[in-house]
Chains A and B, each alone.
Chain A
Amino acid sequence: MKIAVCIKQVVTREWQLRVNDSKTWIRDQDASFELNEPDAYALEEALRLKEKHSGEVVVCSAGPARASSVLREALARGADRAIHVEADALASADAFAVADALAAALRDEKFDLVLTGLQSDDQGFGQVGVVLAEKLGMPHATIIMEVKAEEGGLRVKRELEGGWFQWMTLPLPALLTIQSGINQLRYATLKGIMAAKKKEIRKVTPSAAASPAQKMLAIHFPEKGKKTQMLPGSPAEAAKALVQKLREDARVIQ
């Protein structure tokens, strides 16, 4: 099975977010970056499928030059080669632009299966995978808990809401977005890191900037405008007041 895994580089969770001067994106010059965690599960699933069914795992990322470090990390974990669609604008591009860039890089390779994470920890569109499937003309399924390769296609377990699940089959080639936490991530190894140095990272320049589907006007920290209402009185009085507030004002209980 020839599998592509689309991965993204995002700022580390521990980084103290700061806004740039134009207030349209974060000031990330001094940030540290890591692999978008949901994508790590997609990569792990791809590696396990390869171990089971043989084939090739190709990682692909659309991002600025620094994104090559997550590709290198994926290669160290066992991916066979990498494609880097490199452009600075992709650091904060919208889902359509990213999907365009990925589609152009993947189209001619004729992958059997394309995997992505559920969504990114920065923009959190939750769109790139599905839009990419549409652009590649593949069927897709999202929030996947389990993947089984079967004759002529896949049988996958989708997570629905409220504890419901569903198996479905779909033909190959196909695209799946993988639910986080479905597998145990493997550790990088010294041998893997050394081997990664010899693996190919093919650089691709996106053909033309796709016209964006959404424009970021501003980014800000949520306002801290909450006023705390302290409920005084005896425990019974306070409890009574609280239940009334929750029922009638906040309407969060019946």
Chain B
Amino acid sequence: MILVVAEQREGKLNRASWEAIAAAQHAGGPVKIAVLGSAVDAVASELAAAEAAEVIVVDAPALEQYTSDGHVMTLAALIAEEQPSQVFLPHTYQTRDFAPALAARLQRALITDVTALKAPRGAMVFVRPVFQGKMSAEVTAEGPSPHFVTCQIGAFRADAAKRGSAPASVRKAAIDVDASKIRQKPEAPFKEAKQAVDLSQAERIVAVGRGIKAQEHLEVAEQLAQALGAEIAASRPICDAGWLPMDRQIGSSGQTVAPKLYLALGISGAIQHLVGMKGARTIVAINKDPEAPIFEIADYGIEGDLFEVVPALIAELKK
């Protein structure tokens, strides 16, 4: 049995949990889903839609706010009870905060940031990025089970998670969470505009290159970004020219990104740019030059004048 640890904050399910469920289902065998918190019934019933043996809820006041200690002690107890062969988690900031401690406490292997599973029914091989995504490693987990696996966000498709014909049963696990053993005392989360734009978190990016020709043409790219719900970014020459701030620059001297969609407008695809974005899941290139290297790594390419294609694209999206 594979146990998936779903993630919620303030009663709202983190979508990445579905990706971990999909990965676990893909790995084979029955799946159980655990969710921790306080008053998380709605999340539990949402998760019950999955094809799963059951959804296990650990509901305790001490789990109302996430803490590493709270999660580690709760999941250690739950795993002792359930004896899963593997534990799958989404590779979120929260998972990164507690999973290594949990694995260390149980002295079990933890494979992080997994992008693919190979031979999922034999000895499982995990594919994970190394050297900042420039290379991939294939690893196996050593030692006794359960093994912990965190799934890279976006690597497995949430919509591929199988839904059950009837809702899975929801069970409350009776686990004592001793609040006095939680050493971290969290305060309420708050939202804040980060000083720098963190494009690495963007799901969709529209990036412009030299083909945009003039600063006033940026507007058309921005309209497209808006229609797509995307962040705007650029290759080096655009930022060098001061048309967009430096923190919008993608590439070897800017940010490295891996969004779901990367739409490159008038970007030729110099290697300095490619190293910063070739991890994107779907790459679209629009360029006049059919020889532009960007087409070599694109999933979809349109050879054409971006000033004609982009307005058509905006119109199509608005239909």
Contact A219-B129, Cβ < 8 Å, known A161-B93, A242-B284, A252-B260? no
> Contacts A139-B184, A162-B201, A163-B193 known; A235 to B304 CB distance under 8 Å?
yes
B178 at the interface (CB under 8 A from A): no
- Is the CB–CB distance between B196 and A229 below 8 Å? no
Number of A residues, CB within 8 Å of B? 73
C-alpha spacing A38/B194, complex, angstroms: 18
State in angstroms the CA–CA spacing of A140 and B96 once bound together.
Answer: 12
Q: Does B112 count as interface, using CB distance less than 8 angstroms? A: yes
Interchain nearest-CB distance for B122 vs A (Å): 13
- How far apart are the CA atoms of A211 and B259 in the complex, in Å? 36
Residue of B nearest to A96 (CB): B104
Question: 8 Å CB contacts to B: which residues of A114-128?
Answer: 121-128
Contact of B282 among A164, A231, A246 (CB under 8 A): A246
- Majority SS at the chain B contact face: mixed
Cβ–Cβ contact B309 & A131, under 8 A: no
Number of A-B contacts (CB under 8 A): 231
Q: Is A50 positioned at the interface, with any CB of B under 8 Å from its CB? A: no
Interface size for chain B: under 10, 10 to 19, 20 to 34, or 35 or more residues?
35 or more
Bound state CA distance, A159 and B143, in angstroms?
33
Is A214 interfacial (CB-CB < 8 Å)? yes
Contact of A213 among B134, B137, B143, B261 (CB under 8 A): B143
Kindly list chain B residues whose C-beta atoms are within 8 Å of the C-beta of A252.
203-204, 260-261, 281-282
Q: Does A166 contact B (CB under 8 A)?
A: yes
| Chain A residues numbered 162-195 whose CB sits less than 8 Å from any CB in chain B | 162-171, 181
| The stretch of A63-71, A74-82, A200-208, A220-228 that contacts the partner chain | A220-228
Binary flags per residue of B117-143, CB closer than 8 Å to A gives 1, else 0: 000000001001111111111111111
CB distance from B193 to the nearest CB of A (A): 7
Residues of B291-319 at the interface with A, using a CB-CB cut-off of 8 Å, are: 295-305, 308-309, 311-313, 315-317
Residues of B whose CB lies within 8 Å of any CB of A are 9, 67-69, 92-94, 96-101, 103-105, 108-113, 125, 128-143, 157, 159, 183-194, 196, 201, 203-204, 228-229, 252, 260-261, 281-282, 284-285, 295-305, 308-309, 311-313, 315-317
Interchain residue pairs with CB less than 8 A apart (8): A124-B128, A124-B129, A127-B103, A130-B68, A161-B92, A165-B190, A228-B285, A230-B295
